[in-house]
């Protein structure tokens, strides 16, 4: 969670394993692409900065956050990756739709984590306003994509330990 005291882009580099040779899949929702693409860009940048090769990062697009569940499951089963990062951004509207997408997507990704052989990283922003999303996609509170990339590297190392 980003707060005034925690910036999503700050991490202690000494605690991050070298990502050389690790393979990553990114499932990227196109809804609110202004935010999700910024997160994906930061994720790729962070993976590469920590030793991953760009050719070992595969990105597949899905229409919206709800499709992250299927997209991530597809990657787990069909792509040669060591971790999957699911990136989406849901912004509250006038109806309860927001709650259903957030709950459904979160539940789906959590269930996938229980059965998947590789870790699935939760990069779903659930925001009340576009400003909250902006602040977490390269704004005042850093970039959620960076946090997800660091988490993915740590979880791949965990899996190999």
The span from the CA of 105 to the CA of 64, in Å, is 10
Check 97, 131, 140, 158 and give the catalytic one. Answer: 97
Torsion, Cα of 3, 5, 9, 13 (10° steps): -140
Q: Given CA atoms 82, 1, 103, 145 in this order, what sign does their dihedral have?
A: negative
CB of 17 to ligand DLZ, least distance (A): 31
Which residue, 66 or 122, is less far from ligand DLZ as judged by CB? 66
Output the residue with the shortest Cβ distance to ligand DLZ: 64
The span from the CA of 58 to the CA of 158, in Å, is 21
Which residue, 29 or 72, is less far from ligand DLZ as judged by CB? 29
Residues in touch with ligand DLZ (CB under 6 A): 29, 31-32, 63-67, 88-91, 93, 97, 101
How many Å is the maximal CA-CA distance in the chain?
46
Which residue, 19 or 73, is less far from ligand DLZ as judged by CB? 73
CB of 149 to ligand DLZ, least distance (A): 20
Which residue, 100 or 158, is less far from ligand DLZ as judged by CB? 100
The span from the CA of 146 to the CA of 125, in Å, is 13
CB of 104 to ligand DLZ, least distance (A): 9
Is residue 61 part of the annotated active site? The answer reads no
From residue 134, give the alpha-carbon distance in Å to each of 31, 33, 34, 39, 157: 14, 12, 9, 10, 31
Closest CA to 21 of 51, 46, 47, 59: 51
CB of 84 to ligand DLZ, least distance (A): 17
Cite the active site residues.
97
């Amino acid at each position: 969670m980003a707060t005034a005291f925690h910036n999503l882009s700050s991490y202690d580099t000494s605690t991050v394993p070298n990502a050389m040779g690790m393979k990553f899949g990114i499932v990227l929702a196109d809804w609110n692409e202004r935010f999700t693409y910024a997160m994906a860009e930061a994720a790729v940048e962070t993976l590469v900065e920590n030793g991953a090769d760009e050719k070992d990062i595969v990105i597949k697009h899905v229409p919206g956050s709800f499709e992250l569940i299927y997209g991530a499951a597809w990657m787990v089963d069909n792509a040669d990756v060591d971790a999957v990062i699911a990136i989406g951004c849901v912004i509250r509207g006038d109806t309860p739709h927001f709650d259903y997408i957030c709950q459904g997507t979160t539940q789906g990704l959590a269930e996938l984590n229980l059965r998947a052989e590789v870790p699935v990283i939760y990069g779903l922003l659930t925001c009340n306003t576009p400003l909250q999303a902006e602040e977490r996609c390269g704004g005042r509170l850093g970039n959620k994509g960076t946090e997800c990339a660091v988490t993915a590297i740590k979880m791949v190392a965990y899996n190999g330990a």
